[in-house]
Structure 1
């Protein structure tokens, strides 16, 4: 039935907030800090659509509808280095068109971000 299909699509293709830990650092500082924030994640229909052969692909992904930026201070900074950094916090998420000018639509790095790099204090 159309209603059942609609409910199935809402359940299967949803984007929501997910807890995530960011490790932030500032060049010139000797330490980094773990920040708990929220990101958008989930299951979105990501089929690429082509309107014409010369037009770029349009992809759907989990995108933030609303972001706020919060401040965090990085410890171990000399007096001439501002220790304050801002990090994003997703407040509302949706499956939507991914704009490559403002979002990272695909994961391109194989680098692990689950800890601080060892090259601090440069």
Structure 2
């Protein structure tokens, strides 16, 4: 019985230790503020071709942003910064199964360096800003 209690205590200690590790690591991700390059996988698609799974480097992170009420129209000043590309290079992939009249070439950006900046529709989807 004593060996069983000792084994159970050891198992609970391991589980508690793992929980502490998980709890300690999780807030670091949630509190991260800034921009960084991170691996990103997506499915490249275009009409007339089959999709291709591509892994690349993309920008990821959170930036300090704010809104300020103003007394005259438009009644608000927006300063929305997003984590976006600072330096990129473009790669080309060949999509499979394209129809004869469709080019199989697909161009996509690879992030080399990222920064917090105003959203630019040139390389980022900004519809929600």
TM-score by length of 1: 0.64
Unaligned runs of 5+ in 2: 1-30
Match in the other structure for 2:103? 82
Contact 1:13 1:95 in 2 (8 A): no
Structure 1: runs of 5+ lacking an equivalent: 1-10, 109-122
Question: Structure 1 residues 36 and 12, CA, compared in 2 at 3 Å: closer, same or farther?
Answer: closer
Structure 1 segments of 4+ aligned residues over 3 angstroms from their partners: 49-53, 105-108
Give the Cα–Cα distance (whole angstroms) in 2 for the partners of residues 57 and 87 of structure 1: 30
Q: Which has the larger radius of gyration?
A: 2
Of structures 1 and 2, the one with the larger relative CO (CA 8 A, separation 6+) is: 1
The TM-score normalised by the length of structure 2 is: 0.61
What is the number of equivalent residue pairs in this alignment? Answer: 96
Q: Identify the structure with the greater helix proportion.
A: 2
Distance 1:56 1:84, change over 3 A: farther
